[in-house]
Structure 1
């Protein structure tokens, strides 16, 4: 599914975010290898057009765990179990889409990519006003980041075949019924077309 009459994409003002594509998460969603390959292709297309690539991963230090209150249902449990330590292999970005030297890479400690990182500053420093989202999971990092970036007045695209969720029905509802009022929907094939036309 793509949004009809999409606005043109200016690659020099555009970033594609690959969110939570890390070793401990990728295999937890259906057809993960195909998902990674599609995102890998989108990354290559954006790079070739002169756009920016950003990577977001979730990982914690001892200090991070210590600061998470038990009132936080999700992250309190992660902290109590000492899961997703920033040096663990589970928190490393999947090597098939590994970052390159000039890419943005941020480490987050909550669902969204913005609230606990300097991602917004890094995007603005590069003149980015358009962000394309890919990630795992649609109901976690993608939803949270979409809402935050929309509130900050970015033009937001969701790469519909570059997102996945542990619950496919949840993915479908978010992509088809929630996201269209907040973001432009685009698949990897349409993204490639828009970048070639830029």
Structure 2
């Protein structure tokens, strides 16, 4: 099936969890950030929206995480990822610009604990291009939520990464194609040129 055309005015590229404490934990982080930086520039130049999702907690957020939450209970107990810490700030190489969407989440997905869906809806966005770290965390969770909300979803295949390259490969090649369109940064540039 051919990749459908994009309407930049109805499209947002989401850069998810590209924050200082996470970027350096994956293989070849600088190359990944540069590819996403180029995709952001391409979408921005075509008139699309850029959105940023970061994971960070306030003192109140830590208090609402139940012990049964396998991942985030340890984060809350150790009081990690405070929203003002440098480690939770977006990598300056792809820093948000005026007019971009920026949300802070307290779970894996970029939509479930934020007002991202409302902000996208208010701008008439019905198409999402997902990039992020990690593929098995924020990308998978956000893709599933976005698909259930009837967004047209693209995964930027060379704009996602995981701590486990094999997990990344299986998700991109075997799981995502049934729920999203796959496109790399060069393909995205071409899609944006055909508008």
Please say whether Structure 1 and Structure 2 have the same fold, judged by a TM-score greater than 0.5. yes
**Partner SS for 2:2:** coil
2:188 aligns to what?
A: 191
Per-residue CA distance 1:141-183 (angstroms, 9 max, x = gap): 0000000000000000000000000000000000000000000
1:7 aligns to what?
A: 4
Per-residue CA distance 1:87-137 (angstroms, 9 max, x = gap): 000000000000001000000000000010000000010000000000000
Deviation at 1:39, TM superposition (A): 0.0
What CA distance in whole angstroms lies between the structure 2 residues aligned with 1:69 and 1:129?
Answer: 33
Superposition TM-score, scaled by structure 1 size: 0.98
Q: Which runs of 5+ in 2 are unaligned?
A: none
1:72 aligns to what?
A: 69
1:108 is aligned, of 91, 105, 108, to 105
What CA distance in whole angstroms lies between the structure 1 residues aligned with 2:192 and 2:112?
Answer: 29
Kindly tell me the number of residue pairs found equivalent between the two proteins. 195
1:180 aligns to what?
A: 177
What CA distance in whole angstroms lies between the structure 1 residues aligned with 2:127 and 2:20?
Answer: 27
Superposition TM-score, scaled by structure 2 size: 0.99
1:164 lines up with 2:176 in the alignment: no
1:1-198 to structure 2, matched below 5 A, reads 4-198=1-195
What CA distance in whole angstroms lies between the structure 2 residues aligned with 1:48 and 1:112?
Answer: 27
Please, what is the CA RMSD of the aligned residues?
A: 0.5
Runs (4 or more) in structure 1 with deviation over 3 Å come to none
**Partner SS for 1:73:** coil
What CA distance in whole angstroms lies between the structure 2 residues aligned with 1:187 and 1:77?
Answer: 35
